[in-house]
């Protein structure tokens, strides 16, 4: 549970930092010429760089989110520039501002929830069509019926729900709320850095709009920050794809190689392998095999003693203990080996899965489902003088083969005899 909470917090952290930085910058007074010039070009620069980044990686949802924010920025920036230069707003300022307050959360929520499920070109055409349709209708109404549109937008439809604190048109609040609930539900179903960035970005836009004509450069700063959140989320997910194993959620082989270069002088490496995994896969199927790998990974991720688990490949996992000795690590490895061996996996008919967690707990507690258990063998090696991390890992792998030869379901250190292996014979697999 704590690890899951930490992962979710890491999804939000970059966006929250960007949001806080944007809020702080918006309230700074008497900016010098450098920052004034920077904030004037920052949104366009972020769109060009971030949009190119998204286009290269074919992230069309993120690209259209940036484009939506930038269009809103361009429309409002034209109004704020006129206001700063002339000391008064343009004649169409109210209707343009109200349209942005209504359409920005609507399109942001729509594009954020619109996942890429079709051909890339068809998806791009469909998104452009939606953007063009909304833009064309809004522009046509604004040009043909400006006063009627302004009255319709600014009308208070629910007097009982209207508060003096509301600085936007009343209709924009349910649209913002609906978009927020939709994106919150999307994150709850599929926790991802992008979904977290969309939530935080929507909050930033909600804060920005009432301050557009009040705080200088609020529009420039917050629009830039929201687009940066989206670009940072793309980079975050690209990092996860490269360094994290999708099946188990553990850091992968590339992350292990990078960690091994920063271990220092004293460390212990361990290699763990699921016993008889190929036979288990052939007997119960690959779906159950994947379930076993996720179980083992979950157990290994909770190892105590300062260890960190990595998916090495197949049914093999690596454990890294930085700044530890072999004697300090062996008890923790034995605890995790026994924890895996004593855990029973309930096998259920995939066509008759429970509909909720309560039914699942009742079935697991019953006797109707068959159960299986797996064991792991672990080989351990400690760094000695003039040995590289690759050599230590190779020694741990050799110790793993020795543990297999000793009957499996045991922990064996490099150079240790079979007689000295830590093992539970009663559940050896």
Q: Where are the beta strands (DSSP E) in 116-180?
A: none
Structure tokens at 148: 């009627």
CB 363 within 8 A of CB 340: no
**Cα separation of 412 and 348, whole Å?**
34
Count of residues for the chain?
429
Q: CB under 8 Å, gap of 24 or more: what pairs does 32-41 form?
A: 36/217, 39/217, 39/220, 39/221, 39/224, 40/220
Helix (H/G/I), strand (E/B), else coil: 305: coil
**Cα separation of 195 and 230, whole Å?**
9
List, as one string, the DSSP characters of 220-264.
HHHHHHHHHHHHHHHHHHHHHHHHB-TTT-SB-HHHHHHHHTT--
Provide the 10 A C-beta neighbour count for residue 183: 22
Quickly tell me which residue has 């970059």 as its tokens: 14
Angle between helices 146-154 and 120-144 (to 10 degrees): 100
Helix (H/G/I), strand (E/B), else coil: 151: helix
Structure tokens at 423: 């093992």
Tell me which of 91, 116, 258, 315 is the catalytic residue: 315
Closest residue by Cα to residue 393 from 236, 268, 277, 281: 268
Distances, alpha carbon 309 to alpha carbons 187, 271, 366, in Å: 26, 10, 33
**Cα separation of 323 and 267, whole Å?**
5
CB 15 within 8 A of CB 197: yes
Residue 165: phi and psi, rounded to 5, are -75, -15
Task: Indicate the burial class of 207 (C-beta count within 10 angstroms; 0-12, 13-18, 19 or more).
Answer: middle
Closest residue by Cα to residue 199 from 219, 226, 223, 173: 226
CB 392 within 8 A of CB 410: no
Let me know if 328 is a catalytic residue.
no
Cite the active site residues: 315
């Amino acid at each position: 549970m704590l690890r899951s909470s930490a992962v979710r917090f890491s999804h939000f952290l970059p966006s929250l930092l960007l949001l806080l930085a944007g809020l702080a910058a918006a309230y700074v007074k008497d900016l010098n010429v450098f920052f004034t010039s920077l904030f004037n070009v920052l949104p366009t620069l972020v769109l060009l760089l971030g949009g190119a980044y998204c286009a290269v990686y074919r992230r069309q949802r993120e690209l259209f989110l940036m484009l939506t924010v930038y269009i809103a920025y361009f429309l409002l920036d034209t109004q704020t520039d006129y206001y700063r230069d002339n000391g008064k707003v343009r004649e169409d300022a109210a209707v343009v501002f109200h349209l942005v307050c209504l359409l920005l959360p609507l399109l942001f929520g729509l594009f954020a929830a619109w996942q890429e499920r079709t051909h890339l070109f068809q998806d791009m055409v469909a998104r452009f069509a939606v953007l063009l349709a909304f833009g064309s209708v809004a522009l046509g109404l604004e040009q043909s019926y400006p006063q009627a549109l302004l009255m319709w937008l600014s009308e208070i439809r629910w007097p009982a729900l209207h508060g003096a604190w509301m600085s936007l048109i009343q209709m924009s609040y349910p649209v913002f709320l609906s978009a927020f609930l939709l994106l919150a539900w999307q994150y709850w179903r599929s926790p991802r850095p992008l979904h977290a960035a969309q939530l935080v970005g929507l909050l930033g836009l909600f804060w920005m709009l009432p301050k557009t004509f009040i705080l200088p450069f609020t529009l420039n700063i917050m629009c830039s920050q929201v687009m940066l959140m989206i670009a940072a989320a793309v980079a975050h997910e690209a990092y996860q794809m490269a360094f994290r194993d999708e099946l188990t959620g553990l850091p992968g082989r590339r992350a292990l190689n990078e960690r091994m270069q920063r271990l220092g002088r004293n460390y212990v490496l361990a290699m763990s392998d699921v016993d008889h995994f190929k036979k288990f896969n052939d007997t119960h199927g690959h779906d159950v095999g994947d379930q076993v790998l996720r179980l083992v990974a979950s157990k290994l991720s909770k190892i105590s003693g300062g260890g960190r688990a990595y998916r090495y490949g197949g049914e093999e996992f690596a454990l890294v203990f930085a700044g530890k000795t072999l004697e300090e690590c062996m008890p923790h490895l034995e605890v995790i080996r026994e924890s895996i061996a004593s855990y029973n996996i309930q096998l259920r008919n995939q066509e008759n899965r429970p509909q909720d967690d309560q039914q699942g707990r009742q079935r697991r507690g019953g006797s109707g489902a068959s159960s299986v258990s797996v064991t792991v063998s672990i080989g351990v090696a400690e760094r000695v003088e003039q040995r590289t991390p690759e050599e230590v890992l190779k020694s741990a792998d050799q110790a793993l083969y020795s543990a297999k030869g000793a009957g499996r379901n045991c922990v064996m250190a490099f150079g240790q005899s079979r007689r000295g292996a830590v093992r539970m014979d009663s559940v050896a697999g």
